[in-house]
Structure 1
Amino acid sequence: MTTPSAARSFDARHLQLARALFAALAAVMVTFSSDHSAPLGLGVFSGFALATGLVFALAAWLIAPRGERTIPVLLASVSLLAGLLASVASWRTTGMFFGLVISWAILTGLIELIGALRDRRAGRTAGARDGVLIGILSLVLGAVLLLTPAQYALNYDITGAGSFTLTGITIAVGLFGGYAAVVAVFLAIAGFSPRRPEPVPAVPSEEAAS
Protein backbone atom coordinates (compact mmCIF):
# COMPACT_ATOMS: atom_id res chain seq x y z
CA MET A 1 0.00 0.00 0.00
CA THR A 2 1.27 3.49 -0.88
CA THR A 3 2.07 5.54 2.21
CA PRO A 4 1.22 9.27 2.45
CA SER A 5 4.93 10.15 2.65
CA ALA A 6 5.64 8.21 -0.57
CA ALA A 7 2.75 9.92 -2.32
CA ARG A 8 4.03 13.34 -1.23
CA SER A 9 7.54 12.57 -2.43
CA PHE A 10 6.34 11.93 -5.98
CA ASP A 11 3.47 14.07 -7.28
CA ALA A 12 2.16 15.40 -10.58
CA ARG A 13 4.97 17.97 -10.80
CA HIS A 14 7.61 15.24 -10.62
CA LEU A 15 5.77 13.26 -13.29
CA GLN A 16 5.86 16.26 -15.62
CA LEU A 17 9.55 16.93 -14.99
CA ALA A 18 10.54 13.27 -15.43
CA ARG A 19 8.67 13.08 -18.74
CA ALA A 20 10.24 16.38 -19.81
CA LEU A 21 13.72 15.07 -19.03
CA PHE A 22 13.37 11.90 -21.10
CA ALA A 23 11.70 13.77 -23.96
CA ALA A 24 14.55 16.31 -23.93
CA LEU A 25 17.14 13.53 -24.06
CA ALA A 26 15.38 12.00 -27.07
CA ALA A 27 15.19 15.37 -28.82
CA VAL A 28 18.89 16.07 -28.22
CA MET A 29 19.95 12.63 -29.48
CA VAL A 30 17.96 13.07 -32.70
CA THR A 31 18.94 16.70 -33.23
CA PHE A 32 22.67 16.22 -32.82
CA SER A 33 22.88 12.99 -34.82
CA SER A 34 23.70 13.14 -38.51
CA ASP A 35 22.24 9.66 -38.92
CA HIS A 36 18.44 9.82 -39.11
CA SER A 37 18.08 6.18 -40.14
CA ALA A 38 15.51 3.69 -38.87
CA PRO A 39 17.99 1.97 -36.50
CA LEU A 40 18.92 5.29 -34.91
CA GLY A 41 15.31 6.46 -34.75
CA LEU A 42 14.07 3.22 -33.19
CA GLY A 43 17.00 3.13 -30.79
CA VAL A 44 16.16 6.61 -29.49
CA PHE A 45 12.44 5.86 -29.48
CA SER A 46 13.03 2.64 -27.53
CA GLY A 47 14.83 4.42 -24.71
CA PHE A 48 12.27 7.22 -24.67
CA ALA A 49 9.27 4.86 -24.61
CA LEU A 50 10.74 2.55 -21.95
CA ALA A 51 11.68 5.45 -19.67
CA THR A 52 8.30 7.13 -20.15
CA GLY A 53 6.51 3.85 -19.50
CA LEU A 54 8.40 3.37 -16.24
CA VAL A 55 7.47 6.91 -15.18
CA PHE A 56 3.79 6.20 -15.85
CA ALA A 57 4.03 2.93 -13.92
CA LEU A 58 5.51 4.80 -10.97
CA ALA A 59 2.79 7.45 -11.27
CA ALA A 60 0.07 4.78 -11.22
CA TRP A 61 1.51 3.46 -7.97
CA LEU A 62 2.35 6.70 -6.17
CA ILE A 63 0.11 9.42 -7.64
CA ALA A 64 -3.15 8.02 -8.95
CA PRO A 65 -5.79 7.38 -6.26
CA ARG A 66 -7.04 3.84 -5.83
CA GLY A 67 -9.67 3.10 -8.46
CA GLU A 68 -8.34 5.77 -10.86
CA ARG A 69 -5.21 4.07 -12.11
CA THR A 70 -6.52 2.81 -15.43
CA ILE A 71 -5.13 5.65 -17.56
CA PRO A 72 -1.54 5.64 -16.23
CA VAL A 73 -1.47 1.83 -16.31
CA LEU A 74 -2.61 1.83 -19.94
CA LEU A 75 -0.06 4.50 -20.87
CA ALA A 76 2.67 2.57 -19.09
CA SER A 77 1.70 -0.70 -20.79
CA VAL A 78 1.57 0.76 -24.31
CA SER A 79 4.85 2.67 -23.90
CA LEU A 80 6.73 -0.26 -22.35
CA LEU A 81 5.51 -2.64 -25.05
CA ALA A 82 6.47 -0.20 -27.81
CA GLY A 83 9.87 0.36 -26.21
CA LEU A 84 10.53 -3.37 -25.96
CA LEU A 85 9.56 -3.96 -29.60
CA ALA A 86 11.78 -1.09 -30.74
CA SER A 87 14.70 -2.51 -28.76
CA VAL A 88 14.99 -5.59 -30.99
CA ALA A 89 17.90 -4.70 -33.29
CA SER A 90 16.88 -7.04 -36.11
CA TRP A 91 13.46 -5.36 -36.34
CA ARG A 92 14.77 -1.83 -36.76
CA THR A 93 13.59 -1.24 -40.31
CA THR A 94 11.89 1.72 -41.95
CA GLY A 95 8.55 -0.06 -41.97
CA MET A 96 8.90 -0.92 -38.29
CA PHE A 97 9.65 2.69 -37.38
CA PHE A 98 6.58 4.01 -39.16
CA GLY A 99 4.25 1.27 -37.96
CA LEU A 100 5.42 1.26 -34.35
CA VAL A 101 5.74 5.00 -33.75
CA ILE A 102 2.42 5.74 -35.50
CA SER A 103 0.63 3.08 -33.44
CA TRP A 104 2.22 4.30 -30.21
CA ALA A 105 1.45 7.95 -30.94
CA ILE A 106 -2.21 7.32 -31.78
CA LEU A 107 -2.85 4.94 -28.88
CA THR A 108 -1.13 7.02 -26.21
CA GLY A 109 -2.59 10.22 -27.64
CA LEU A 110 -6.14 8.87 -27.40
CA ILE A 111 -5.59 7.41 -23.93
CA GLU A 112 -4.03 10.58 -22.55
CA LEU A 113 -6.63 12.84 -24.13
CA ILE A 114 -9.56 10.76 -22.87
CA GLY A 115 -8.04 10.60 -19.38
CA ALA A 116 -7.45 14.36 -19.30
CA LEU A 117 -11.00 15.14 -20.40
CA ARG A 118 -12.32 12.76 -17.74
CA ASP A 119 -10.20 14.48 -15.08
CA ARG A 120 -11.42 17.89 -16.22
CA ARG A 121 -15.04 16.82 -15.89
CA ALA A 122 -14.29 15.50 -12.40
CA GLY A 123 -12.71 18.81 -11.37
CA ARG A 124 -9.14 17.49 -11.24
CA THR A 125 -7.44 20.26 -13.19
CA ALA A 126 -3.80 19.83 -12.07
CA GLY A 127 -2.74 17.69 -15.01
CA ALA A 128 -5.81 17.89 -17.23
CA ARG A 129 -4.52 20.73 -19.40
CA ASP A 130 -1.17 18.99 -19.86
CA GLY A 131 -2.90 15.75 -20.79
CA VAL A 132 -5.08 17.47 -23.37
CA LEU A 133 -2.15 19.17 -25.08
CA ILE A 134 0.20 16.16 -25.00
CA GLY A 135 -2.59 13.91 -26.18
CA ILE A 136 -3.30 16.20 -29.14
CA LEU A 137 0.42 16.52 -29.94
CA SER A 138 0.77 12.73 -29.97
CA LEU A 139 -2.21 12.37 -32.28
CA VAL A 140 -0.75 15.04 -34.57
CA LEU A 141 2.56 13.16 -34.65
CA GLY A 142 0.76 9.96 -35.64
CA ALA A 143 -1.25 11.76 -38.33
CA VAL A 144 1.80 13.54 -39.80
CA LEU A 145 3.78 10.30 -39.93
CA LEU A 146 0.86 8.63 -41.68
CA LEU A 147 1.08 11.33 -44.35
CA THR A 148 4.85 10.93 -44.75
CA PRO A 149 5.71 8.52 -47.60
CA ALA A 150 8.04 5.86 -46.23
CA GLN A 151 9.66 5.33 -49.65
CA TYR A 152 10.13 9.03 -50.39
CA ALA A 153 13.59 9.96 -51.70
CA LEU A 154 14.84 13.31 -53.03
CA ASN A 155 18.38 13.72 -54.33
CA TYR A 156 19.90 17.20 -54.05
CA ASP A 157 23.26 18.89 -54.21
CA ILE A 158 24.83 21.53 -51.99
CA THR A 159 27.65 23.48 -53.57
CA GLY A 160 30.90 22.69 -51.84
CA ALA A 161 29.33 20.00 -49.64
CA GLY A 162 28.35 17.27 -52.09
CA SER A 163 25.27 15.24 -52.97
CA PHE A 164 22.63 14.18 -50.44
CA THR A 165 19.36 12.26 -50.35
CA LEU A 166 16.34 13.31 -48.30
CA THR A 167 14.32 10.19 -47.49
CA GLY A 168 11.02 9.45 -45.81
CA ILE A 169 12.69 7.92 -42.77
CA THR A 170 14.94 10.98 -42.38
CA ILE A 171 11.84 13.17 -42.28
CA ALA A 172 10.04 10.79 -39.91
CA VAL A 173 12.89 10.59 -37.39
CA GLY A 174 13.20 14.38 -37.52
CA LEU A 175 9.47 14.74 -36.85
CA PHE A 176 9.76 12.48 -33.82
CA GLY A 177 12.69 14.55 -32.56
CA GLY A 178 10.67 17.73 -33.03
CA TYR A 179 7.72 16.20 -31.17
CA ALA A 180 9.99 15.21 -28.28
CA ALA A 181 11.43 18.74 -28.12
CA VAL A 182 7.98 20.37 -27.95
CA VAL A 183 6.82 17.91 -25.28
CA ALA A 184 9.98 18.51 -23.25
CA VAL A 185 9.59 22.30 -23.31
CA PHE A 186 5.90 22.27 -22.46
CA LEU A 187 6.17 19.76 -19.61
CA ALA A 188 9.23 21.50 -18.17
CA ILE A 189 7.37 24.81 -18.10
CA ALA A 190 4.33 23.11 -16.55
CA GLY A 191 6.48 21.33 -13.99
CA PHE A 192 8.26 24.48 -12.82
CA SER A 193 5.17 26.71 -12.87
CA PRO A 194 3.49 27.59 -9.55
CA ARG A 195 0.08 26.09 -9.14
CA ARG A 196 -2.90 26.31 -6.84
CA PRO A 197 -3.56 23.33 -4.59
CA GLU A 198 -6.32 21.00 -5.72
CA PRO A 199 -9.58 21.48 -3.78
CA VAL A 200 -10.08 18.85 -1.08
CA PRO A 201 -13.43 17.03 -1.45
CA ALA A 202 -15.84 17.66 1.41
CA VAL A 203 -16.13 14.81 3.89
CA PRO A 204 -19.72 13.63 4.42
CA SER A 205 -21.11 14.49 7.84
CA GLU A 206 -21.60 10.82 8.72
CA GLU A 207 -17.92 10.08 8.11
CA ALA A 208 -16.79 13.19 9.94
CA ALA A 209 -18.87 12.25 12.98
CA SER A 210 -17.36 8.77 13.04
Structure 2
Amino acid sequence: MTPSSSVRTFEVRHVQLARAGFAALAALMITFSPDHSAAVGAAVFSGFAIATGLVFLLAAWLVSPTGGRGAAIALGAVTVVAGIVASLPPVRSVAGFFIVVIAWAVIAGAVELAVGARALLRARKVARTDASDADAAPRRAGYVAPWTPRDGATPVTPLSRGDARDAVVVGVLGILLAVGMLLVPTGYALRYTIEEVGQTFTLTGIIIAVGIFGAYAAIVAVYLAIAGFSPRPATASASPETADAAAPGVTATGAPTPADQKDSA
Protein backbone atom coordinates (compact mmCIF):
# COMPACT_ATOMS: atom_id res chain seq x y z
CA MET A 1 0.00 0.00 0.00
CA THR A 2 1.43 3.35 -1.00
CA PRO A 3 1.32 6.37 1.31
CA SER A 4 -1.13 8.13 -0.97
CA SER A 5 -3.66 5.31 -0.69
CA SER A 6 -3.40 4.78 3.04
CA VAL A 7 -6.18 5.96 5.33
CA ARG A 8 -5.36 8.13 8.31
CA THR A 9 -6.03 6.42 11.65
CA PHE A 10 -7.07 9.65 13.37
CA GLU A 11 -9.30 12.20 11.68
CA VAL A 12 -11.11 15.40 12.57
CA ARG A 13 -14.15 13.38 13.65
CA HIS A 14 -12.11 11.73 16.40
CA VAL A 15 -11.05 15.12 17.74
CA GLN A 16 -14.67 16.27 17.71
CA LEU A 17 -15.87 13.18 19.57
CA ALA A 18 -13.13 13.49 22.19
CA ARG A 19 -13.99 17.14 22.77
CA ALA A 20 -17.68 16.25 22.93
CA GLY A 21 -16.99 13.63 25.59
CA PHE A 22 -15.08 15.99 27.88
CA ALA A 23 -17.64 18.78 27.37
CA ALA A 24 -20.48 16.39 28.20
CA LEU A 25 -18.68 15.29 31.37
CA ALA A 26 -18.26 18.93 32.45
CA ALA A 27 -21.93 19.67 31.72
CA LEU A 28 -23.09 16.65 33.74
CA MET A 29 -20.87 17.54 36.70
CA ILE A 30 -22.28 21.06 36.84
CA THR A 31 -25.87 20.00 36.21
CA PHE A 32 -25.98 17.41 38.99
CA SER A 33 -23.88 19.34 41.49
CA PRO A 34 -25.90 21.14 44.17
CA ASP A 35 -22.96 23.49 44.72
CA HIS A 36 -22.36 26.09 42.00
CA SER A 37 -19.71 27.98 43.90
CA ALA A 38 -16.56 29.45 42.38
CA ALA A 39 -14.45 26.58 43.75
CA VAL A 40 -16.62 23.92 42.11
CA GLY A 41 -16.94 25.85 38.87
CA ALA A 42 -13.19 26.42 38.66
CA ALA A 43 -12.48 22.75 39.41
CA VAL A 44 -14.83 21.55 36.66
CA PHE A 45 -13.49 24.09 34.18
CA SER A 46 -9.92 23.17 35.06
CA GLY A 47 -10.45 19.49 34.30
CA PHE A 48 -12.39 20.27 31.13
CA ALA A 49 -9.77 22.73 29.86
CA ILE A 50 -6.73 20.54 30.56
CA ALA A 51 -8.33 17.49 28.92
CA THR A 52 -9.52 19.48 25.91
CA GLY A 53 -6.15 21.19 25.56
CA LEU A 54 -4.37 17.84 25.48
CA VAL A 55 -6.76 16.73 22.74
CA PHE A 56 -5.77 19.80 20.70
CA LEU A 57 -2.06 19.16 21.24
CA LEU A 58 -2.32 15.51 20.24
CA ALA A 59 -4.41 16.45 17.22
CA ALA A 60 -1.68 18.83 16.09
CA TRP A 61 0.54 15.83 15.32
CA LEU A 62 -2.00 13.09 14.65
CA VAL A 63 -4.60 14.98 12.59
CA SER A 64 -3.41 18.41 11.49
CA PRO A 65 -1.45 18.62 8.22
CA THR A 66 2.23 19.44 8.23
CA GLY A 67 2.56 23.21 8.14
CA GLY A 68 -0.99 23.66 9.44
CA ARG A 69 -0.44 22.75 13.08
CA GLY A 70 -0.12 26.27 14.41
CA ALA A 71 -3.82 26.74 15.20
CA ALA A 72 -4.12 23.39 17.01
CA ILE A 73 -0.99 24.08 19.04
CA ALA A 74 -2.21 27.58 19.91
CA LEU A 75 -5.63 26.28 20.97
CA GLY A 76 -4.05 23.50 22.99
CA ALA A 77 -1.57 25.78 24.73
CA VAL A 78 -4.16 28.43 25.61
CA THR A 79 -6.65 25.84 26.87
CA VAL A 80 -4.12 23.90 28.96
CA VAL A 81 -2.75 27.10 30.50
CA ALA A 82 -6.29 28.25 31.34
CA GLY A 83 -6.99 24.91 33.00
CA ILE A 84 -3.80 25.03 35.04
CA VAL A 85 -4.45 28.60 36.15
CA ALA A 86 -8.02 27.70 37.15
CA SER A 87 -6.67 24.88 39.33
CA LEU A 88 -4.59 27.25 41.48
CA PRO A 89 -6.19 27.86 44.91
CA PRO A 90 -5.84 31.68 44.79
CA VAL A 91 -7.75 31.75 41.48
CA ARG A 92 -10.68 29.71 42.77
CA SER A 93 -12.63 32.81 43.68
CA VAL A 94 -15.55 34.62 42.09
CA ALA A 95 -13.36 37.16 40.32
CA GLY A 96 -10.81 34.49 39.35
CA PHE A 97 -13.45 32.26 37.75
CA PHE A 98 -14.88 35.12 35.72
CA ILE A 99 -11.48 36.33 34.54
CA VAL A 100 -10.06 32.95 33.56
CA VAL A 101 -13.15 31.62 31.78
CA ILE A 102 -13.86 34.87 29.93
CA ALA A 103 -10.24 35.25 28.83
CA TRP A 104 -10.10 31.65 27.62
CA ALA A 105 -13.45 31.87 25.83
CA VAL A 106 -12.43 35.03 23.96
CA ILE A 107 -9.00 33.76 22.87
CA ALA A 108 -9.97 30.17 22.04
CA GLY A 109 -13.23 31.20 20.42
CA ALA A 110 -11.53 33.82 18.26
CA VAL A 111 -8.79 31.42 17.14
CA GLU A 112 -11.23 28.65 16.23
CA LEU A 113 -13.56 31.10 14.50
CA ALA A 114 -10.67 32.52 12.49
CA VAL A 115 -9.47 29.04 11.45
CA GLY A 116 -12.93 27.98 10.30
CA ALA A 117 -13.69 31.26 8.55
CA ARG A 118 -10.36 31.19 6.72
CA ALA A 119 -11.02 27.65 5.54
CA LEU A 120 -14.49 28.57 4.29
CA LEU A 121 -13.15 31.60 2.43
CA ARG A 122 -10.53 29.41 0.83
CA ALA A 123 -13.25 26.97 -0.17
CA ARG A 124 -15.20 29.70 -1.93
CA LYS A 125 -12.07 30.81 -3.72
CA VAL A 126 -11.36 27.28 -4.88
CA ALA A 127 -14.96 26.88 -6.04
CA ARG A 128 -14.50 29.78 -8.45
CA THR A 129 -11.47 28.24 -10.13
CA ASP A 130 -11.60 26.27 -13.33
CA ALA A 131 -12.86 22.75 -12.56
CA SER A 132 -10.90 21.35 -15.47
CA ASP A 133 -7.44 21.80 -13.96
CA ALA A 134 -5.42 19.06 -12.30
CA ASP A 135 -6.85 19.77 -8.84
CA ALA A 136 -10.50 19.55 -9.92
CA ALA A 137 -11.06 16.05 -8.52
CA PRO A 138 -10.23 16.77 -4.86
CA ARG A 139 -12.13 20.05 -5.04
CA ARG A 140 -15.25 18.34 -6.29
CA ALA A 141 -14.84 15.79 -3.51
CA GLY A 142 -15.49 18.52 -0.94
CA TYR A 143 -11.98 19.63 -0.01
CA VAL A 144 -11.32 23.18 1.09
CA ALA A 145 -8.11 23.17 -0.91
CA PRO A 146 -5.68 20.53 -2.11
CA TRP A 147 -2.81 20.04 0.28
CA THR A 148 0.56 19.73 -1.39
CA PRO A 149 2.92 17.75 0.85
CA ARG A 150 6.65 18.27 0.88
CA ASP A 151 8.81 15.96 -1.19
CA GLY A 152 8.72 12.51 0.35
CA ALA A 153 6.07 13.44 2.92
CA THR A 154 2.87 11.47 3.37
CA PRO A 155 -0.10 13.22 1.75
CA VAL A 156 -2.70 14.45 4.19
CA THR A 157 -6.37 15.31 4.05
CA PRO A 158 -7.27 19.01 4.06
CA LEU A 159 -10.03 20.43 6.25
CA SER A 160 -13.42 19.80 4.66
CA ARG A 161 -16.11 22.45 4.31
CA GLY A 162 -18.26 20.73 6.92
CA ASP A 163 -15.43 20.63 9.46
CA ALA A 164 -14.67 24.28 8.72
CA ARG A 165 -18.29 25.21 9.43
CA ASP A 166 -18.15 23.23 12.68
CA ALA A 167 -15.08 25.19 13.74
CA VAL A 168 -16.89 28.45 13.02
CA VAL A 169 -19.92 27.40 15.09
CA VAL A 170 -17.85 26.28 18.08
CA GLY A 171 -15.79 29.46 17.87
CA VAL A 172 -18.94 31.56 17.92
CA LEU A 173 -20.22 29.58 20.92
CA GLY A 174 -17.00 30.36 22.77
CA ILE A 175 -17.38 34.06 22.12
CA LEU A 176 -21.04 33.91 23.20
CA LEU A 177 -19.89 32.25 26.44
CA ALA A 178 -17.62 35.23 27.10
CA VAL A 179 -20.36 37.72 26.26
CA GLY A 180 -22.88 35.95 28.48
CA MET A 181 -20.52 35.95 31.45
CA LEU A 182 -19.60 39.59 30.88
CA LEU A 183 -23.28 40.49 31.23
CA VAL A 184 -23.45 38.90 34.69
CA PRO A 185 -22.44 41.21 37.57
CA THR A 186 -19.93 39.46 39.81
CA GLY A 187 -21.56 40.92 42.92
CA TYR A 188 -25.13 40.12 41.91
CA ALA A 189 -27.28 38.62 44.70
CA LEU A 190 -31.02 37.99 44.70
CA ARG A 191 -32.72 36.59 47.78
CA TYR A 192 -35.96 34.71 47.24
CA THR A 193 -38.16 32.50 49.36
CA ILE A 194 -40.00 29.35 48.38
CA GLU A 195 -42.98 29.32 50.70
CA GLU A 196 -43.87 25.71 49.91
CA VAL A 197 -40.65 24.52 51.56
CA GLY A 198 -40.25 27.48 53.88
CA GLN A 199 -36.68 28.21 52.84
CA THR A 200 -34.87 31.29 51.60
CA PHE A 201 -32.25 31.06 48.88
CA THR A 202 -29.82 33.49 47.28
CA LEU A 203 -29.14 33.58 43.54
CA THR A 204 -25.65 35.01 43.05
CA GLY A 205 -23.63 36.03 40.05
CA ILE A 206 -21.24 33.09 40.39
CA ILE A 207 -24.14 30.63 40.36
CA ILE A 208 -25.36 32.17 37.11
CA ALA A 209 -21.85 32.18 35.64
CA VAL A 210 -21.21 28.54 36.48
CA GLY A 211 -24.61 27.69 35.01
CA ILE A 212 -23.75 29.56 31.81
CA PHE A 213 -20.53 27.59 31.48
CA GLY A 214 -22.46 24.36 32.05
CA ALA A 215 -24.93 25.31 29.34
CA TYR A 216 -22.06 26.11 26.98
CA ALA A 217 -20.45 22.74 27.67
CA ALA A 218 -23.75 20.93 27.05
CA ILE A 219 -24.36 22.70 23.72
CA VAL A 220 -20.79 22.09 22.54
CA ALA A 221 -21.02 18.42 23.56
CA VAL A 222 -24.22 17.85 21.58
CA TYR A 223 -23.04 19.79 18.54
CA LEU A 224 -19.62 18.14 18.32
CA ALA A 225 -21.11 14.70 18.93
CA ILE A 226 -23.50 15.21 16.01
CA ALA A 227 -20.65 16.52 13.87
CA GLY A 228 -18.41 13.61 14.82
CA PHE A 229 -21.01 10.95 14.03
CA SER A 230 -22.19 12.62 10.83
CA PRO A 231 -21.22 10.71 7.67
CA ARG A 232 -18.37 12.11 5.62
CA PRO A 233 -18.09 12.02 1.82
CA ALA A 234 -16.79 8.71 0.53
CA THR A 235 -13.62 10.42 -0.68
CA ALA A 236 -13.02 12.45 2.46
CA SER A 237 -10.36 10.08 3.76
CA ALA A 238 -8.45 10.03 0.50
CA SER A 239 -5.54 12.32 -0.18
CA PRO A 240 -5.67 14.87 -2.99
CA GLU A 241 -3.28 12.68 -4.94
CA THR A 242 -5.59 9.70 -4.53
CA ALA A 243 -8.55 11.80 -5.62
CA ASP A 244 -6.64 12.92 -8.68
CA ALA A 245 -5.84 9.32 -9.50
CA ALA A 246 -9.53 8.46 -9.14
CA ALA A 247 -10.58 11.16 -11.59
CA PRO A 248 -12.33 9.89 -14.72
CA GLY A 249 -9.90 8.92 -17.48
CA VAL A 250 -6.80 8.69 -15.26
CA THR A 251 -5.27 5.63 -13.62
CA ALA A 252 -3.27 5.61 -10.38
CA THR A 253 -0.06 5.88 -12.38
CA GLY A 254 -1.32 8.82 -14.38
CA ALA A 255 -1.71 6.86 -17.59
CA PRO A 256 -4.92 7.12 -19.62
CA THR A 257 -7.58 4.51 -19.01
CA PRO A 258 -8.52 2.01 -21.71
CA ALA A 259 -11.54 4.16 -22.52
CA ASP A 260 -9.25 7.11 -23.21
CA GLN A 261 -6.98 4.98 -25.31
CA LYS A 262 -9.95 3.81 -27.30
CA ASP A 263 -11.18 7.35 -27.81
CA SER A 264 -7.76 8.51 -28.86
CA ALA A 265 -7.60 5.65 -31.31
TM-score, scaled relative to structure 1: 0.91
In structure 2, the partner of 1:146 is 182
Could you list the structure 1 runs, at least 4 aligned residues long, displaced by more than 3 angstroms after superposition.
197-203
- Cα distance per residue 1:30-56 (max 9 Å; x no partner): 000010000000000000000000000
In structure 1, the partner of 2:28 is 28
Relative distance call for 1:40 and 1:9 in structure 2 (3 A) is same
CA distance in 2, matches of 1:31, 1:97: 18
- Cα distance per residue 1:55-103 (max 9 Å; x no partner): 0001101111110011111100100000000111232000000000000
Structure with bigger gyration radius: 2
Deviation at 1:152, TM superposition (A): 0.1
Letter aligned with residue 151 of structure 1: G
In structure 1, the partner of 2:132 is none
Letter aligned with residue 38 of structure 1: A
Q: How many residues align?
A: 204
2:205 corresponds to 1:168: yes
2:244 corresponds to 1:191: no
Deviation at 1:120, TM superposition (A): 1.9
- Cα distance per residue 1:116-157 (max 9 Å; x no partner): 112223313241011010000000000111111000000000
CA distance in 2, matches of 1:90, 1:167: 20
CA distance in 2, matches of 1:60, 1:7: 17
CA contact (8 A) 1:60 1:69 kept: yes
SS for the counterpart of 2:240 is coil
Deviation at 1:27, TM superposition (A): 0.1
Deviation at 1:7, TM superposition (A): 7.6
In structure 1, the partner of 2:156 is none
- Cα distance per residue 1:147-200 (max 9 Å; x no partner): 110000000001114000000000000000000000000001111111113374
In structure 2, the partner of 1:201 is 240
Please state which structure has a larger fraction of its residues in helix. Answer: 1
In structure 1, the partner of 2:168 is 132
CA distance in 2, matches of 1:31, 1:57: 28
2:216 corresponds to 1:182: no
2:143 corresponds to 1:104: no
In structure 1, the partner of 2:43 is 43
CA distance in 2, matches of 1:50, 1:29: 16
Relative distance call for 1:161 and 1:45 in structure 2 (3 A) is farther
SS for the counterpart of 1:9 is coil
CA distance in 2, matches of 1:146, 1:137: 14
Letter aligned with residue 185 of structure 2: P
In structure 1, the partner of 2:261 is none
CA contact (8 A) 1:7 1:62 kept: no
Letter aligned with residue 192 of structure 2: Y
Q: CA RMSD in A?
A: 2.2
In structure 1, the partner of 2:65 is 65
Letter aligned with residue 77 of structure 1: A
Query: Sequence identity of aligned pairs in percent?
Result: 51
CA contact (8 A) 1:42 1:92 kept: yes
SS for the counterpart of 1:127 is helix
Letter aligned with residue 90 of structure 1: P
